[in-house]
């Protein structure tokens, strides 16, 4: 996998060069990146199902699952609010887009982006799949979560009779992860195509006119991750955010190349378990975070909204900013980690609150891919920090093992993405029980 890591780096560099040298040809390479992301998404539902079922099925008391889930959702809501406040402060200080006097008539694509919104009732009903099988075939994360939760609790009720089923699901999980490791060898091709297409489509001219909002967004994300999340992680679990992010370096590279944190979800679950977080906590917190963690999305929506309003000469009052962005945060539940979901949420929110500004979404489309990368990376970092924190708060985090892993003395198994010696019975081992 070390050679694969280098190959991805080389592919990204090559994609940038091709994008500048032959932009017309580079634009045609977009399907390579899309195809790779689709391969990853193909594996998301079975991985989430196996992980959650094993996590819940191995917990003796169903109350613990509910406690972990509620703690995770509460934490993500609080941190998304903090990110929203930070984004509002930075955005109002920078005034992105001021002085541009852009004409929204040039952004005809924006209205197309605003048609994908849905109400809260449709969102809730959409969590229920048509059938148990359709939850997997439709690729809905929330539907898969529901089916996995029901299956996990049902296996709990079966007691000892459900243990053979749990072992069977563990073997299926190992097979799924092995398939994923095979797919990962296509990462250089996907990264090359995705990066080349973006550079070929935008070039430096489009980036220069939007440099303020991009830099402001990136700086805000960095401050949030290293200052806010870093402080919480240190005081809550005595873990350095720099060590944790270095441990997840390969996942961040994958996210940057694909602009989707979904592509690294399976590896995050596996790495959190390897770090010392119990399977039950990792199996519940990580998938929950992919539906409810909106740290990067909150900052993105803030900066993009303020940019559009200022660029068109219609700045928003503080009250309008707060009400509009709170609506967007709620509307984007379940979309975290999905590449391109942010632009649809932005357009849908503006369409419902300030229709006169929705035309300006087209100005963001040129750099949305670059902002999407930082958005996905921030969401991913928030998920990793949350998993360690909740594991520590639930006393299901082995700090001794974490120290060994972060120091490099216990390397992650890149071949299987799992500890081969781990079995379902290991989850309730004396070592784990001692932490409860």
DSSP per position, 225-283: IIIIIHHHHHHHH---HHHHHHHTHHHHHHHHHHT-GGGGHHHHHHHHHHHTB-HHHHH
**What is the average per-residue pLDDT within 362-388?**
78
Under the banding of pLDDT at 50, 70 and 90, the label for residue 390 is very high
Under the banding of pLDDT at 50, 70 and 90, the label for residue 429 is very low
CA atoms within 13 A on the CB side of 309: 25
**107-111, 301-305, 315-319, range with the lowest pLDDT:** 107-111
5, pLDDT greater than 70: no
C-alpha separations of 172 from 28, 53, 185, 359, 417 in Å:
37, 12, 21, 47, 13
Q: In this predicted structure, what is the pLDDT of residue 387?
A: 92
**181-185, 208-212, 288-292, range with the lowest pLDDT:** 208-212
CA atoms within 13 A on the CB side of 357: 25
Which of the given ranges, 1-5, 35-39, 337-341, has the highest pLDDT on average? 35-39
Give per-residue pLDDT as tens, 358-372: 666 666 655 666 677
C-alpha separations of 168 from 42, 163, 173, 287, 424 in Å:
21, 9, 9, 21, 10
**234-243, 358-367, 388-397, 425-434, range with the lowest pLDDT:** 425-434
Which of the given ranges, 59-73, 143-157, 365-379, 418-432, has the highest pLDDT on average? 143-157
Give per-residue pLDDT as tens, 206-260: 446 567 777 888 888 999 999 999 999 999 888 999 999 999 888 888 777 766 6
Distance between CA 151 and CA 144 in Å, rounded? Answer: 10
**15-24, 50-59, 95-104, 347-356, range with the lowest pLDDT:** 95-104
Question: Residue 316: CB partners within 8 Å, gap ≥ 6?
Answer: 305, 306, 309, 324, 354
CA atoms within 13 A on the CB side of 370: 23
Q: In this predicted structure, what is the pLDDT of residue 341?
A: 56
On whether the CB atoms of residues 267 and 251 are closer than 8 A, the answer is yes
Question: Residue 100: CB partners within 8 Å, gap ≥ 6?
Answer: 209, 310, 311
CA angle 152, 155, 158 (to 5 degrees): 160
Q: In this predicted structure, what is the pLDDT of residue 347?
A: 67
C-alpha separations of 368 from 117, 245, 303, 308, 361 in Å:
18, 24, 12, 13, 10
Helix, strand or coil, per DSSP, at residue 436 = coil
159, pLDDT greater than 60: yes
CA angle 130, 144, 1 (to 5 degrees): 140
Domains assigned to the chain: 2-435 (1.10.3860.10)
433, pLDDT greater than 90: no
78, pLDDT greater than 80: yes
Under the banding of pLDDT at 50, 70 and 90, the label for residue 353 is low
The dihedrals phi and psi of 277, each to the nearest 5 degrees, come to -80, 135
> How many residues appear in the chain?
436
**Mean of pLDDT over the chain:** 74
β-sheet bridge partners, residue 277: 397
Q: In this predicted structure, what is the pLDDT of residue 299?
A: 84
Distance between CA 222 and CA 227 in Å, rounded? Answer: 8
Distance between CA 37 and CA 262 in Å, rounded? Answer: 9
Give per-residue pLDDT as tens, 312-328: 777 777 777 777 777 66
On whether the CB atoms of residues 227 and 250 are closer than 8 A, the answer is no
Q: Which two tokens stand for residue 310?
A: 């200022």
432, pLDDT greater than 60: no
Q: In this predicted structure, what is the pLDDT of residue 144?
A: 79
Token look-up 């780096």 returns 9
């Amino acid at each position: 996998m070390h050679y694969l890591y280098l190959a991805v780096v080389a592919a990204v560099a090559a994609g940038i060069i091709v994008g500048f040298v032959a932009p017309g040809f580079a634009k045609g390479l977009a399907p390579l990146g899309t195809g790779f992301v689709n391969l990853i998404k193909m594996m998301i539902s079975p991985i989430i199902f196996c992980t959650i079922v094993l996590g819940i099925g191995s917990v003796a008391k169903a109350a613990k699952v509910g406690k972990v889930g509620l703690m995770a959702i509460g934490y993500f809501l609080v941190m998304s609010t903090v990110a929203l406040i930070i984004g509002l402060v930075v955005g109002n200080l920078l005034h992105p887009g001021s002085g541009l006097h852009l004409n929204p008539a040039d952004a005809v694509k924006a209205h197309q982006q605003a048609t994908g919104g849905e109400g809260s009732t449709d969102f809730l009903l959409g969590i229920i799949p048509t059938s148990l099988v359709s939850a997997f075939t439709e690729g809905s994360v929330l539907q898969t979560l529901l089916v996995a939760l029901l299956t996990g609790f049902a296996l709990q009720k079966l007691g000892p009779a459900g243990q053979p089923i749990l072992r069977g699901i563990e073997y299926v999980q190992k097979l799924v992860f092995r398939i994923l490791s095979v797919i990962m060898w296509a990462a250089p091709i996907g990264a090359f195509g995705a990066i080349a297409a973006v550079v070929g489509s935008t070039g430096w001219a489009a980036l220069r006119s939007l440099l303020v909002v991009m830099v402001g967004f990136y700086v805000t994300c960095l401050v949030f991750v290293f200052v806010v999340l870093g402080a919480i992680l240190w005081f809550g679990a005595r873990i350095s955010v720099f060590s944790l992010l270095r441990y997840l370096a390969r996942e961040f590279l994958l996210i940057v190349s694909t602009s989707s944190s979904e592509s690294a979800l399976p590896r995050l679950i596996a790495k959190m378990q390897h770090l010392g977080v119990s399977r039950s906590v990792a199996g519940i917190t990580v998938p929950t975070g992919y539906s409810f963690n909106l740290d990067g999305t909150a900052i993105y929506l803030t900066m993009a909204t303020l940019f559009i309003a200022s660029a068109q000469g219609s700045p928003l009052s503080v009250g309008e900013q707060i009400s509009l962005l709170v609506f967007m945060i709620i509307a984007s539940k379940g979309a975290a980690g999905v590449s391109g979901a942010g632009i649809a949420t932005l357009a849908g929110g503006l369409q419902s609150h300030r229709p006169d500004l929705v035309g300006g979404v087209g100005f963001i489309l040129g750099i949305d891919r670059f902002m999407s990368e930082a958005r996905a990376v921030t969401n991913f970092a928030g998920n990793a920090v949350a998993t360690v924190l909740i594991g520590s708060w639930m006393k299901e985090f082995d700090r001794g093992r974490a120290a060994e892993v972060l120091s490099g003395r216990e390397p992650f198994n890149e071949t299987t993405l799992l500890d081969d010696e781990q079995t379902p019975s290991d989850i309730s081992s004396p070592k784990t029980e001692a932490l409860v």
